Structure 1
Amino acid sequence: MCSAWTGLVLMLSACTSTPPEPGAWQPLFDGVSTRGWHNVGKDTIDPRWQAIDGALVLTAAGGGDIVTDAQFADFELELDWQLAPGGNSGVFYRAADSDPVWQRAAEYQLLDDAAAQDRFVASHRAGSVYDLVAAEGSVLRPSGEYNHARIVACGPRIEHWLNGVRVAAYTVGSDDWKQRLAASKFAGQPDFGAARSGHIGLQDHGAMLRVRHARIRALAGCKP
């Protein structure tokens, strides 16, 4: 429910999550190694994932999906990402450490909207909640440049931001969510995306991916 604002503020403001008291930022990547990450369901990380020039890089297809060692509940996540031309990848959140990650965890879609095959499906474009909520607006930078992703997770309320603009939002368990889920490739999985804590994951979709400046902070006590 929206906060009880008054006057013109109430008329002009959208319903948003109550701002929590944020915790300290924690880096998810130290810039020089792959420490803190492992392949899904394993204790190690494939050597095709490497730390190169301050970025966590999938250098070739076959590296497999990776997840953080740590788990997170309510959080704010930021990272910069870059794909090869025509590239496709994703950021999973509140994910289980079991394969295949994409069948259970919601995904912040990473895509080259100008050249990737998936660009023809609105809910598959960059910033979307993959196959569920299409990103609004057109704020993606050209292929070869870094884009900035931000995910805010507060209880059942999730927001996707791209280059400083909120492009998608949803509430797990809402009627709207249930309708979208029923019309998606995840139909028949009522618990899809419902976990309230889990790992952060990066997808190997067969294309080069570079991630830098990845950091996260807890949003303890936030209220949707």
Structure 2
Amino acid sequence: LNKGAGSAFGLEFQILDDANHPDAKLGKDGNRTIGSLYDLITAKQDKLVHPIGQWNYAFIRTDGTNVEHWLNGRLVVSYDRTSEAFRTARAGSKYADAKYGANFGEWESGNILLQDHGNEVSFRSIKVRELSK
């Protein structure tokens, strides 16, 4: 959600505590739980989540329009940003609102953002790299 200068919106790999954060209970079919593509695609239910006080390892891999979300070594979400399935999910989400743009999530480039939900959160060993073809 764009809240003014310095704020932006885009596709989100959801990072929060499913058991204790109220946002994890909202959305549809768990699509706001850890590892999910926020408000669009629910992470696999057999995901491995470490409890508060232990580190979780998240990895996002993109190849063109194909995107994978990995959590603690397990693939939890896979999608094509230009597929009919993605567009259908978008049409049924908050991102169908015109303020997000007709092609939300299909941009060729953008920014990487880290967001908190008002709770303490820590990140470490953040790496961004382009993989050779």
TM norm structure 1: 0.52
Alignment of 1:208 onto 2:120: yes
The question of 1:182 aligning with 2:91 is answered: yes
Relative to total residues, which structure has the larger strand share, 1 or 2? 1
Task: Give unmatched runs, 5+ long, in structure 1.
Answer: 1-39, 42-97
Question: For 1:45-194, what aligned pairs fall within 5 Å after superposition?
Answer: 99=7, 101-102=8-9, 105-121=10-26, 122-136=30-44, 137-188=46-97, 189-194=101-106
CA shift for structure 1 position 166: 0.4
Structure 2 counterpart SS, 1:153: strand
Note the 1:18-57 alignment, pairs <5 A.
Answer: 41=5
SS at match of 1:111: coil
Distance of 1:198 and 1:220 partners within structure 2: 19
Q: Tell whether the 8 Å contact from 1:154 to 1:219 is kept in structure 2 after alignment.
A: no
Q: Quick one: distance in 1 between partners of 2:86 and 2:69?
A: 15
AA aligned to 1:191 is: N
Counterpart of 1:169 in 2: which secondary structure? Answer: strand
Distance, in Å, in 2 between the alignment partners of 1:212 and 1:220 is 24
Identity fraction in percent: 37
Kindly report the root-mean-square deviation, in angstroms, between the aligned alpha carbons of the 2 structures: 1.7
Deviation at 1:219, TM superposition (A): 2.3
Q: SS state of the match for residue 216, structure 1? A: coil
Deviation (angstroms), 1:220: 4.0
Of 191, 195, 205, the residue aligned with 2:107 is 195
Greater relative CO, 1 or 2 (CA 8 Å, sep 6+): 1
The amino acid that maps onto 1:114 is A
Q: Secondary structure at the match of 1:161?
A: strand
Amino acid at match of 1:156: T
Count of residue pairs the alignment pairs up:
123
Q: Which moved more, 1:189-198 or 1:141-150?
A: 189-198
1:216 and 1:164 map into 2 onto residues whose CA distance is: 17
Contact 2:47 / 2:74 at 8 angstroms: preserved in 1?
A: no
